[in-house]
A and B are shown apart, each in its own frame.
Chain A
């Protein structure tokens, strides 16, 4: 081609800028107030989505637990279960409706995020263990994988909801410090405990915690956007 050298240089620079720009930018474009080509979701819609997600997560955990109790632990007696300790027991969670309603929105959101963060690694480990063992069939191992994936997705969703709430001024900005995984993840403290926890206990604990997440989200939604479904 007969293009001159400066033109080639300019083209090269432009290509480089383009590539760098795409690499440095955030993963998803931010859609603010209904821009063209971007489907704007309201806060209520976001809440509905995360609540549905948490409901599905809880149902899977419930199925896995019942399967485990039915096929793997038929002979084990149930005495002594009171001493079970979940690795998330250190996280203070409201144990009732009034307790949950008494909590502030930010605190409630924080609790939810803490729980979700706490379960990411143990579930992944559980799935890894299950693949190597022969106790569960493939169907259960798929469920375990899906469960760990869902926890991750749900956490991102709740973070989006929190961001939206902060945008709308419904909650204060005290949550910004929660996104860092070091403070939230208690696995560093309880890593030994999480590994000592048996599969059965893990399933039991996760079933409970997923239920907590679902209920907390519902309360939060009806407190913040009580238009429909409350």
Chain B
């Protein structure tokens, strides 16, 4: 008996050895890959068969359910392809655990895989969305992509059993290293994509998820080309806007550059007050001394600048010598240059020398005249051309303040005015006789009149020293004027009642030229006029007649 057992064992060993040498064995262990449910109503399990052992091997799937006893075999091996098991709706229970195993059987043996525990609830993975359509919608502003899709056809969303959420991703084909842009779509089955690049090809993919399940696979790529578009209307507006902005900028720039002209054009400057002779700059400088000097020097008192306003001279003539000149028709205006020199007071009386000069000298002349019968004028005679006979007069000090000069001589002026009214006017040419030697220039101007007539030359201040000439009325025919005999004091002038022979007076004045004089009666210089009448210059300046009984 032991021999038979031993013999059987040896036979088996030999058989297995032989089988090994041939290369056949029982099948290898199959492996369950996964089970998937696309719509939460059915599911499919797949396995890997493993090594078949060299012999034809069959696989069987067995499962157990949680709530029921018994081992069941796969209801459908073909629907999902090879090595798969498809559980249809009737065989699928949700919220129930399945214990699934696969058995591989061949002629030599069978092998059981590891079990897989499955709850359909947690193996759900939907299929990708279907019917993905991408269209380019061109609107006013900018074109955009409109992506539409449909849920996978097996998913039942209408009964509320399944709630799908979608996800979309977009990529530009031209950009090589571009990334996919993902957009979540929620439960909607369409999406709009903005900000497109014209001329590009866009790739779109979609996937979906069922409740809290796994994401589906990405759908097949949909390619869409965005056409190159030129918004014609807008481009024209853009061009117009840019152009007008450029023009506006140019105008603004020009105005800014020429703002002075613009300002002058729009807001013309108001002419300010202009005082002739007033220097505004000097006023602005603020130095009072300069201001005062400029104010005063400039023209006050107003001077006669024009020639026609200038006053002609009244000259006292000696009738014998002067008349030929007058008959010649000479006017003194031609002989005397008004604008040049300043006249001194000329009083001719009896050919006496009278001092002529400036202020001091004139006063001196006045004072002398008080004593003498006639005015005396004394000028520095020089053979200078008459063009400038009195240029030494200009040597007079000009620095004396005008006001004081004017004041001092105004009084004299009044006196002279009054004298002029009562005396005969005759033009007298004063000829300077002595030399024109400038060396002998002194402050005293001596004029030796030709003949003392007794006329008064009244002068006024000229511009520079303030003397002016009174405009006389030349009337030679008047002979009824009275002559001045003596100036008594400052404001009394004694007139000759009787005409004293002029020869007498002229003799005195002339001095050496007394030929004619000798023929005449000798005059006693101190002979007084018996009957005297005079004029009295009151304080108000008016002349009043006065009678003086006594003789000087």
Chain A: residues with CB nearer than 8 A to chain B?
58-59, 62, 78-79, 81-82, 84, 89, 93, 95-98, 100-101, 208, 211-212, 215, 218-219, 221-223, 229-230
Question: Known contacts A78-B117, A96-B92, A97-B94; can you find 4 more A-B pairs with CB under 8 A?
Answer: A81-B117, A97-B159, A219-B160, A230-B157
B95-127 vs A: 1/0 string, CB under 8 Å? Answer: 111010000000000000001010101000000
Q: Which of B95, B117, B158, B160 has the most CB of A within 10 A?
A: B160
Q: Which of B93, B94, B119, B158 has the most CB of A within 10 A?
A: B94
Q: Which residues of B contact A100 (CB under 8 A)?
A: 161
Q: Which of B66, B89, B158, B161 has the most CB of A within 10 A?
A: B161
Q: Are B121 and A211 in contact (CB under 8 A)?
A: yes
The complex places the Cα of A192 from the Cα of B97 at a distance, in Å, of: 24
Q: Which residues of A contact B41 (CB under 8 A)?
A: 96-97
Q: A59-B212, A96-B92, A208-B121 are in contact. Are A82 and B97 (CB under 8 A)?
A: yes
**Which B-chain residue is minimally distant from A209 (CB atoms)?**
B95
Q: Which residues of B contact A212 (CB under 8 A)?
A: 95
The complex places the Cα of A62 from the Cα of B213 at a distance, in Å, of: 12
The 3 nearest A-B residue pairs measured at CB = A222-B160, A218-B160, A95-B93
29 A–B pairs (Cβ distance < 8 Å), ordered by A: A58-B212, A62-B212, A78-B117, A79-B115, A81-B97, A82-B66, A82-B99, A84-B66, A93-B95, A95-B95, A96-B89, A96-B92, A96-B93, A96-B94, A97-B41, A97-B161, A101-B159, A208-B121, A211-B121, A215-B161, A218-B161, A219-B159, A219-B161, A229-B160, A229-B187, A230-B157, A230-B158, A230-B159, A230-B160
Task: Point out the residue from B40, B97, B121, B163 that lies within 8 Å of A97, measured CB to CB.
Answer: B40
The complex places the Cα of A84 from the Cα of B95 at a distance, in Å, of: 13
The complex places the Cα of A100 from the Cα of B41 at a distance, in Å, of: 12
Q: Which residues of B contact A208 (CB under 8 A)?
A: 95, 119, 121
The complex places the Cα of A142 from the Cα of B439 at a distance, in Å, of: 134
The complex places the Cα of A89 from the Cα of B158 at a distance, in Å, of: 29
Cβ of B112 to closest chain A Cβ, rounded Å: 14
The complex places the Cα of A81 from the Cα of B158 at a distance, in Å, of: 35
Q: Are B117 and A97 in contact (CB under 8 A)?
A: no
The complex places the Cα of A71 from the Cα of B52 at a distance, in Å, of: 40
Q: How many B residues have CB within 8 A of the partner chain? A: 26
Q: Which of A59, A208, A219 has the most CB of B within 10 A?
A: A208
The complex places the Cα of A215 from the Cα of B156 at a distance, in Å, of: 13
Cβ of A88 to closest chain B Cβ, rounded Å: 11
Q: A59-B212, A78-B117 are in contact. Are A218 and B163 (CB under 8 A)?
A: yes
Q: Are B117 and A82 in contact (CB under 8 A)?
A: yes
Cβ of A222 to closest chain B Cβ, rounded Å: 3
Cβ of A210 to closest chain B Cβ, rounded Å: 11
Q: A211-B121, A218-B161 are in contact. Are A97 and B95 (CB under 8 A)?
A: no
Cβ of B286 to closest chain A Cβ, rounded Å: 85
Cβ of A228 to closest chain B Cβ, rounded Å: 11
Question: Is B64 positioned at the interface, with any CB of A under 8 Å from its CB?
Answer: yes
Cβ of B354 to closest chain A Cβ, rounded Å: 130
Interface SS of chain A: helix
Q: Are A222 and B159 in contact (CB under 8 A)?
A: yes
Q: Which residues of B contact A219 (CB under 8 A)?
A: 159-161
Q: Which residues of A contact B93 (CB under 8 A)?
A: 95-96
Q: Are A222 and B95 in contact (CB under 8 A)?
A: no
The complex places the Cα of A82 from the Cα of B116 at a distance, in Å, of: 11
**Which A-chain residue is minimally distant from B156 (CB atoms)?**
A97
Q: Which residues of A contact B89 (CB under 8 A)?
A: 96, 98
Q: Which residues of B contact A96 (CB under 8 A)?
A: 41, 89, 92-94
The complex places the Cα of A62 from the Cα of B94 at a distance, in Å, of: 17
Q: Which residues of B contact A218 (CB under 8 A)?
A: 160-161, 163
**Which B-chain residue is minimally distant from A216 (CB atoms)?**
B160
Cβ of A59 to closest chain B Cβ, rounded Å: 7
Q: A96-B41, A96-B93, A211-B95 are in contact. Are A222 and B158 (CB under 8 A)?
A: yes
Cβ of B320 to closest chain A Cβ, rounded Å: 141
The complex places the Cα of A62 from the Cα of B212 at a distance, in Å, of: 10
**Which B-chain residue is minimally distant from A218 (CB atoms)?**
B160
The complex places the Cα of A19 from the Cα of B26 at a distance, in Å, of: 87
Cβ of B82 to closest chain A Cβ, rounded Å: 28
**Which A-chain residue is minimally distant from B121 (CB atoms)?**
A211
Q: Which residues of A contact B67 (CB under 8 A)?
A: 89
**Which B-chain residue is minimally distant from A211 (CB atoms)?**
B121
Q: Which residues of A contact B92 (CB under 8 A)?
A: 96
Q: A93-B95, A97-B40, A98-B89 are in contact. Are A82 and B159 (CB under 8 A)?
A: no
The complex places the Cα of A101 from the Cα of B157 at a distance, in Å, of: 14
Q: Which residues of A contact B99 (CB under 8 A)?
A: 82
The complex places the Cα of A222 from the Cα of B160 at a distance, in Å, of: 6
Q: Which of B66, B67, B89, B157 has the most CB of A within 10 A?
A: B66
Q: Which residues of B contact A82 (CB under 8 A)?
A: 64, 66, 97, 99, 117
Cβ of B340 to closest chain A Cβ, rounded Å: 117
Q: Which residues of A contact B159 (CB under 8 A)?
A: 97, 101, 219, 222-223, 230
The complex places the Cα of A84 from the Cα of B97 at a distance, in Å, of: 10
**Which B-chain residue is minimally distant from A79 (CB atoms)?**
B115
Q: Which residues of A contact B119 (CB under 8 A)?
A: 208
The complex places the Cα of A212 from the Cα of B95 at a distance, in Å, of: 8
Q: Which residues of A contact B64 (CB under 8 A)?
A: 82
The complex places the Cα of A78 from the Cα of B212 at a distance, in Å, of: 23
Q: Are B96 and A95 in contact (CB under 8 A)?
A: yes
Cβ of B124 to closest chain A Cβ, rounded Å: 11
The complex places the Cα of A101 from the Cα of B160 at a distance, in Å, of: 11
Cβ of B471 to closest chain A Cβ, rounded Å: 116
Q: Which of A218, A219, A221 has the most CB of B within 10 A?
A: A218
Q: Which residues of A contact B121 (CB under 8 A)?
A: 208, 211
Q: Which residues of B contact A97 (CB under 8 A)?
A: 40-41, 94, 156, 159, 161
B183-209 vs A: 1/0 string, CB under 8 Å? Answer: 000010000000000000000000000
Cβ of B118 to closest chain A Cβ, rounded Å: 11
The complex places the Cα of A82 from the Cα of B66 at a distance, in Å, of: 6
The complex places the Cα of A93 from the Cα of B66 at a distance, in Å, of: 14
The complex places the Cα of A173 from the Cα of B67 at a distance, in Å, of: 32
Cβ of A38 to closest chain B Cβ, rounded Å: 29
Q: Which residues of B contact A81 (CB under 8 A)?
A: 97, 117
B156-183 vs A: 1/0 string, CB under 8 Å? Answer: 1111110100000000000000000000
The complex places the Cα of A135 from the Cα of B97 at a distance, in Å, of: 27
**Which A-chain residue is minimally distant from B40 (CB atoms)?**
A97
B47-88 vs A: 1/0 string, CB under 8 Å? Answer: 000000000000000001011000000000000000000000
The complex places the Cα of A59 from the Cα of B121 at a distance, in Å, of: 14
Q: Are B66 and A95 in contact (CB under 8 A)?
A: no
Q: Which residues of B contact A59 (CB under 8 A)?
A: 212
**Which B-chain residue is minimally distant from A220 (CB atoms)?**
B160
Q: Which residues of A contact B97 (CB under 8 A)?
A: 81-82
B373-401 vs A: 1/0 string, CB under 8 Å? Answer: 00000000000000000000000000000
The complex places the Cα of A95 from the Cα of B40 at a distance, in Å, of: 11
**Which A-chain residue is minimally distant from B159 (CB atoms)?**
A222
